[in-house]
Amino acid sequence: MLKVLKFGGSSLADAQQFAKVKAIVEADESRRVVIVSAPGKRFSGDHKITDLLYLCAAHIKYGVSCEEIFDMIRTRYLEIVHDCGLKLDLNPDFDALWAKMQEGIEKDELASRGEYFSARLMAEYLGYEFLDAAEWVKFRFDGTVDTDATYEALRRAAGDRSVVIPGFYGVMPDGRIRTFSRGGSDITGALAAAALDADVYENWTDVSGILMADPRIVDDPAPIRHLTYGELRELSYIGAQVLHEGTIFPVREKNIPLNIRNTNEPEHPGTTILESIEEDTNDGSFITGIAGKKGFSVITIAKTGMSGDPGTLVRILEILAKHEVNVEYIPSGIDIISLVVESKKVSKCLYAMLGELQKEVQPNKITVTEHIAVVAAVGRKMAYRPGVSGKIFAKLGENGVNIRMITQGPEELNIIVGVEEKDFAQAIRVLYDSFVKEHI
Ligand code: ADP
Ligand code: ASP
Ligand code: MG
């Protein structure tokens, strides 16, 4: 039995959090591979180490001294060393890093040091061996991970040892350090779990699993006990940012269950994510979770005869593709089609694009509606259940939320409504109160 664990920044924020991690790891001897993030915030208003490292990189770029920020970083680690009673002397490493920063260090390498030092400390604290991610997470030049090479390298490097690995980074073919995008330690954990054929990938964070709605919008939302990878993908794509979206692929491919747990409440079972779920554990509601995002624009094109002419849709999408705008959703009617796009992707090219659409497609009418938010109700139990969308629209209407757009995925895993941004939080609360709260 092998469990691969990843601890997020808040789980490593100080010595007290380090102690919780140690207790969790020691509670189960199959917890032998531990991936760590850089220390996160200890309290609101505090700084994440990774943010401070990026801040140093920005100072270096503009030739401004970052000595004070660097000292803050060093002090954070030295405090953990002291408070955990560790022997490791990090000063020579910090001095060497500072010297390298004076010569001009690459941003990715500097940012990666947050996880690197965190893992060195945790390795000593747990009595595990330190295993550098640079030895096995292999990027290609295009920034994608070469999973075959990565898996093989980790199997060789880790063997049966108990190890602590820094998350968030790996190496390019030329040996340079490269990081994932923010939150990427989740991916390192997933790659390690897949490489070593782990029985479970435990992702330890500061919430007791994925909650049915964003806790910043809904008060005390219920945690989701079980979720399919498909549902998680829908929820994280549309805004439930608990895990980096690159986390799912490696574990899903190997069918390794992913268990999201709370370092501050280790006895809570959290959320378990699997390929499919037989028995019904999230009883009651047909909705598994609710999430959403602001910042969309809807381009609506009406043209008589469009439905009978397959070429029109092709021309429309080609124009968008030329401007590198991808379409999120395409709700359509007879002779009318709407394209839901991210506003920030069209802000620069909107007028040029509309001009081309006008010329090439010659529609009767084009309208653009901005400041749209999308809200999705996600749930495998919605499939083939008649009347779900009707109930959702009725509840939103009763509560004064004006629906601007509706769409549903073909596998009936989600129902998506577009609302004005001012109604965003209200829409999420109405869905939660009407379809979740009433059932628990
Ligand atoms: P870590 O540092 O452990 O990787 P993150 O900050 O990346 O943790 O992710 C956990 C956070 O995600 C939670 O503290 C919570 O504020 C936020 N979050 C947003 N939506 C949800 C949701 N639906 N369920 C749980 N947490 C959510
Ligand atoms: N420390 C990195 C970040 O803050 C990576 C991570 O925490 O997963 O984005
Ligand atoms: Mg995270």
pLDDT tens per residue, range 278-333: 765 555 667 889 999 999 999 999 999 988 888 899 999 999 999 999 999 998 88
pLDDT tens per residue, range 35-75: 999 999 999 999 999 999 999 999 999 999 999 999 999 99
pLDDT tens per residue, range 76-89: 999 999 999 999 99
Q: What is the mean pLDDT of residues 362-373?
A: 95
Dihedral through CA 299, CA 330, CA 427, CA 216, nearest 10? -90
Cα of 287 vs centre of ligand 3, distance in Å, is 24
Question: Hey, whose CA ends up nearest to atom 8 of ligand 2?
Answer: 183
**pLDDT at residue 69 in the model:** 98
Token pair belonging to 352? 């040029």
**pLDDT at residue 310 in the model:** 82
Question: Hey, whose CA ends up nearest to atom 18 of ligand 1?
Answer: 242
Q: Output the ligand 2 site: residues, CB below 6 A.
A: 8-9, 37-38, 48, 50, 114, 167-168, 182-186
- Determine contact, residues 234/226, Cβ cutoff 8 Å: no
For residue 372, what pLDDT band results from cuts at 50, 70 and 90?
A: very high
Question: Hey, whose CA ends up nearest to atom 1 of ligand 1?
Answer: 8
Nearest ligand, CA 179: 2
Cα of 366 vs centre of ligand 3, distance in Å, is 40
State pTM to two decimals.
Answer: 0.87
Q: What is the mean pLDDT of residues 376-390?
A: 80
The CA distances from residue 396 to 372, 419, 420, in Å, are 16, 10, 12
Is 227 a residue whose pLDDT tops 70?
yes
Is 344 a residue whose pLDDT tops 90?
yes
Is 151 a residue whose pLDDT tops 60?
yes
Token pair belonging to 410? 């073909």
Residue in 10, 168, 177, 241 to alter for ligand 2 test, most ligand atoms within 8 A of Cβ = 168
Mean pLDDT rounded to a whole number for the chain: 93
Q: Output the ligand 1 site: residues, CB below 6 A.
A: 8-10, 37, 40, 183, 205-207, 210-211, 213-215, 240-242
Residue in 5, 41, 206 to alter for ligand 1 test, most ligand atoms within 8 A of Cβ = 206
Nearest ligand, CA 47: 2
Full DSSP string of 19-51? HHHHHHHHT-TTEEEEEE-----SSTT---HHH
**pLDDT at residue 74 in the model:** 98
